Amino acid sequence: MSFTISKRRVSLFDMLFAFVIIAGGLFAYKRYANFMDYYEEGILLGAIAAIVWFGRFWPAMRVFLPISALFALAGISLYQGNLANGQSVFWLKYILSSQSAVMWMCVLYLLATLMYWLGMLRRSNTALDIASNLTWAAASAALVSKLVRWYESYLIGADVGHIPVSNLYEVFILFCMITTLMYLYYEQKFQNQGKAKTMGAFVLPIIMAAVGFILWYSVDRQAHEIQPLIPALQSWWMKIHVPANFVGYGAFALSAGLAAAQLLVSKGILASRLPSYETLGEVMYKAISIGFLFFTIATILGAMWAAEAWGGYWSWDPKETWALIVWLNYASWLHMRLVKGWRGNVLAWWALIGLFVTSFAFIGVNMFLSGLHSYGGL
């Protein structure tokens, strides 16, 4: 995946988007500067620059991000500084509170999955277009839920407020959103090669597995209730380490879905309905490449956080050990493809098995092992 920005001229829309993002960032700083330290001010500045760049790199973000922000701001304004309004104001209770937005996200993902499969099996471009739009809507609902939940945490108390990436419930929503946006990027990027949207039939089921976990975790464990951060997570490192980590997780999950599709095409199953064997392999490679990059960055950031929190960069904690296993797995995958020239089913099987390795590092460690990262347990 190349990060080279196209050489097209900067349009009025480009400048307007940049102005809106910068103005929003300055407003956030003016209003919340008292809650920020120097590190968080730096994160805000970096986020503004990154979003402006992202809108230039992927023009769809110039629509997606403002629309999601407007819905989130609508929900925030309806609270009027009172968390109890979430149970009495219609638009909050049923649509715009963080938990309502998550429920809509789950419904939209289910409908999108069904439409992707219908479109693929019936060769219906209309169904595939609907599926793609539903997927965009689901990603928007996920982002709205994140922004509104962030605000809700501060309504509980200034000492409770935090970015919503602190527990399994919150990061599973983040996983859904990031995986979705990465998929939608490649869906658009490869649309000229034909049948790109049918890839969603294999990517969305992985996201649906996460949706199933979110629903179970909400109903059975009441995980949607906002809790104060434990001391180990009260750090600005969390704001950059966790999102970077989940770009990696999302990319690896995406690659596994594509690997499953590629293996079916290699057997002649659904070959006429899916992109070519080579296209699926190329998208899988690009996803793993960007995932490996961000996972490497996240691992480095995690080591620096560990040094500050526990006095050492590495302690062979189970979570750290399995993160290393995941890193080595995909480093080997990329080495075999780039240096040894491997192609085909062996890499597809490797990427598919890699999903189980990554899943254990993501959630299995929390379920079956204990260590310094046990605060993320079920």
Burial class (CB in 10 A: 0-12, 13-18, 19+), 268: exposed
What pLDDT shows up at residue 4? 43
CB atoms near residue 208 (< 10 Å)? 17
Give per-residue pLDDT as tens, 251-302: 999 999 999 999 999 999 999 999 999 999 999 999 999 999 999 999 999 9
Residue 375 pLDDT more than 60? Answer: no
Helix 125-156 to helix 98-122 angle, to the nearest 10 degrees?
Answer: 170
The region of weakest confidence among 77-81, 193-197, 209-213 is 193-197
CB atoms near residue 254 (< 10 Å)? 31
Helix 238-266 to helix 318-338 angle, to the nearest 10 degrees?
Answer: 50
In the predicted model, what is the mean pLDDT of the chain? Answer: 93
Burial class (CB in 10 A: 0-12, 13-18, 19+), 88: exposed
Quote the CA–CA distance of 124 and 122 in Å, as a whole number: 5
Location of structure tokens 């500050």: 308
What pLDDT shows up at residue 32? 82
Q: Name which of 377, 356, 359, 355 is nearest 288 in CA terms.
A: 355
Is residue 280 within 8 A of residue 199, CB to CB? The reply is yes
The residue that leads in pLDDT, 345 or 8, is 345
What's at 60, amino acid-wise? A
Residue 5 pLDDT more than 80? Answer: no
SS3 content of the chain, % helix, strand, coil (to 5): 80, 0, 20
Quote the CA–CA distance of 375 and 227 in Å, as a whole number: 12
What pLDDT shows up at residue 372? 61
Residue 2 pLDDT more than 60? Answer: no
Residue 376 pLDDT more than 60? Answer: no
Residue 377 pLDDT more than 60? Answer: no
What the block records as the tokens of 137 is 């809507």
Quote the CA–CA distance of 90 and 87 in Å, as a whole number: 8
Q: Distances in Å between the alpha carbon of 135 and those of 69, 306, 320, 371?
A: 17, 36, 33, 37
What pLDDT shows up at residue 373? 63
What pLDDT shows up at residue 374? 59
The region of weakest confidence among 143-147, 181-185, 229-233 is 229-233
